């Protein structure tokens, strides 16, 4: 039946199929394989144009204290757009599209990569008695040091009612590791990283001077991650996965929310902070004045300008992360890793999605709900987490009937 339809409609029918079904079509004949190759190629180009290059670009030529930055989304596709990344990225890649295409190859090729965007990356391999398993980790070092062999990429995905709505690629910089010190289950101090997508291609409205982020990132996205109506009853799923050239893409964390339910819950607990959460700014200003007697004049002046640029709005309310922490903080399912001594370990704390919600009543006709997301984890996750190992047979868009069949087989094995 499929052959009759394809003979009648040609490759047009492939645009209505999933990536997985498109790859399966390649098994039928050489013509079908060529059509499948063309369709996967078309979708890969569309993805390169639409996905977020989620890192900050900053002008290093400006005077200290006056740095200007934008999301790499806003820059042309050339080598200069990589200037916000560490040298290990800049010395290898010629442009953001070169980097993104390489990430797709690390994930097994475009068919497998785009299939994961439509559905989900695979969770980490399960280790159980009497069950063979193939796995790897990124490094023996903990915490890791970024080097030629340790270029690590995080991939953010958002789905709405089961359909892909947004993707972002986040190359990890060494300078972004270890933002905070936390305690593990044994009370020992661990370095924790807090990461968020820096993007101008989000699903949210533009932020403004009244948007007070709960965590002080060096670079902030100029848009909310998602903006929607307060009565939005759709299910939104948020995923984050990790890939490296020696490790296939592996899911780290996934959770789903219904915005209308989240808003109702926050309402019931009266957890909306007035004036956009401006009390946080006031406390930070007090803390800054307390250290002014110790000097650090340049730092204090920079912070003072930052505080003066914030203008709270009485009709923009931020959700308190203390009153409804079960809404704002979503812990990860237990992940496993291999410690520095070779023992099996569990990452049972400090791996979370931290959501921040804003209720926006500034529009008289329709209230809006905004959210942002931070991902927090111990730095050892980037070296010790159990991941799927790379295979020698890397999937690329097929150029022959046999390669098309191989791509389909790989997707069936997922």
Report the half-sphere exposure of 156 (CA within 13 A, side-chain side). 27
Residue 88 structure tokens: 């290990």
Backbone angles phi, psi at 406, to 5 degrees: -65, -40
Residue 295 lies in a domain: no
pTM check: above 0.95: no
Residues 6+ positions from 384 with CB-CB distance below 8 Å: 137, 142, 337, 338, 339, 340, 345, 347
Q: Which domain, by its residues, includes 117?
A: 2-274+314-412
N- to C-terminal Cα distance for the chain? 26
What confidence score (pLDDT) does residue 390 get? 87
Q: What is residue 270's predicted lDDT score, i.e. its pLDDT?
A: 93
User: Mind listing the pLDDT tens digit for each residue in 260-295?
Assistant: 999 999 999 999 998 888 888 777 777 766 666 566
- Distance (Å, whole) CA 136 – CA 384: 9
Distance CA 153, CA 106 (A): 10
For residue 55, give both structure tokens: 């890192």
- Nearest Cα to 388, choosing from 247, 254, 253, 252? 247
- Tokens for 121? 């990356």
Structural domain includes residue 392:
yes
Contact 167, 156 (CB under 8 A): yes
Q: DSSP alpha helices (H): ranges in 274-349?
A: 279-290, 297-308, 325-328
Which of the residues in the chain have pLDDT under 70?
1-15, 25-32, 59-67, 140-149, 178-188, 288-304, 392-414
Domain assignment present for residue 342? The answer is yes
With respect to residue 287, please indicate whether it lies within any of the assigned structural domains: no
76 in any annotated domain: yes
- CA 84 vs CA 53, 184, 192: distances in Å: 11, 32, 22
- Block residue for tokens 């007070």: 212
Question: What are the backbone angles phi and psi of residue 106, rounded to the nearest 5°?
Answer: -60, -35
**Is there a domain that residue 285 lies in?**
no
Compute CA distances 264 → 134, 161, 203, whole Å: 44, 20, 22
Q: Residue 30 burial (CB < 10 Å; 0-12/13-18/19+)? A: exposed
For 234-265, give the DSSP string. --EEEEEEEEETTEEEEEEEEEEE-HHHHHHH
127 occurs within a structural domain: yes
Q: What would the two tokens of residue 74 be? A: 């806003």
Question: What sign results for the dihedral spanned by CA atoms 382, 386, 392, 397?
Answer: negative
Number of domains in the chain: 1
Q: Which among 349, 326, 325, 346 has a CA at the least distance from the CA of 336?
A: 346
Dist. CA 345–CA 368, nearest whole Å:
42
- Spatial CA neighbour of 88 closest among 155, 146, 175, 169: 146
**pLDDT the model gives residue 292:** 63
d(CA 244, CA 327): 31
Q: Note the residue count of the chain.
A: 414
Torsion of CA 126, 129, 135, 138, to 10 degrees: 90
Q: What is the pLDDT of residue 183?
A: 57
At 152 the three-state DSSP class reads strand
Provide the CA 230 distance to its chain's centre, in angstroms: 24
Quick check: is 301 in a domain? no
Q: Is residue 81 classed as helix, strand or coil in its secondary structure?
A: helix
């Amino acid at each position: 039946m499929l052959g009759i339809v394809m003979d009648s409609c040609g490759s047009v029918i492939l645009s209505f199929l999933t990536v997985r079904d498109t790859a399966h079509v390649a098994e039928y004949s050489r013509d079908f394989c060529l059509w499948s190759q063309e369709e996967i190629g078309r979708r890969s180009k569309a993805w390169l144009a639409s996905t977020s290059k989620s890192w900050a670009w900053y002008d290093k030529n400006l005077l200290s204290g006056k740095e200007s930055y934008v999301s790499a989304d806003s820059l042309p596709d050339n080598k200069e757009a990589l200037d916000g990344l560490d040298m290990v990225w800049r010395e290898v890649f010629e442009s953001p599209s070169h980097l993104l295409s390489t990430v797709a190859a690390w994930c097994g090729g475009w068919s497998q990569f785009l299939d994961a965007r439509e559905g989900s990356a695979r969770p980490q391999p399960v280790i159980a008695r009497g069950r063979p398993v193939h796995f790897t980790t990124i490094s023996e070092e903990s915490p890791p040091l970024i080097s030629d062999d340790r270029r690590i990429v995080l991939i953010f995905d958002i789905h709405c009612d089961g359909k892909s709505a947004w993707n972002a690629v986040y190359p990890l910089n060494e300078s972004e590791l270890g933002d905070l010190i936390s305690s593990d289950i044994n009370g020992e101090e661990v370095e924790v990283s807090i990461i968020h997508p820096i993007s101008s291609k989000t699903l949210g409205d533009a932020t403004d001077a009244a948007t007070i982020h709960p965590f002080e990132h060096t670079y902030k996205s100029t848009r909310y991650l998602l903006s929607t109506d307060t009565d939005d009853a759709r299910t939104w799923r948020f995923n984050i996965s990790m890939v490296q050239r020696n490790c296939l893409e592996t899911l780290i964390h996934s959770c789903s929310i219904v915005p209308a339910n989240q808003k109702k819950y926050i309402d019931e607990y009266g957890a909306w902070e007035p004036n956009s959460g401006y009390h946080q700014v006031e406390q930070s200003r007090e803390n800054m004045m307390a250290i002014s007697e110790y000097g650090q004049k340049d730092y204090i002046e920079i912070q003072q300008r930052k505080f003066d640029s914030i203008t709270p709005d009485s009709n923009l309310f931020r959700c308190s992360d203390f009153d409804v922490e079960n809404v704002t903080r979503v812990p990860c399912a237990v992940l496993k890793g291999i410690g520095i001594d070779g023992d099996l370990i569990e990452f049972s704390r400090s791996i979370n999605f931290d959501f921040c919600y804003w209720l926006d009543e500034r529009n008289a006709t329709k209230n809006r709900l905004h959210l942002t997301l931070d991902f927090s984890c111990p730095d050892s996750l980037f070296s010790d987490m159990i991941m799927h190992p790379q295979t020698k047979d890397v999937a690329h868009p097929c150029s022959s009937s046999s390669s098309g069949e191989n791509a389909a087989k790989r997707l069936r094995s997922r």
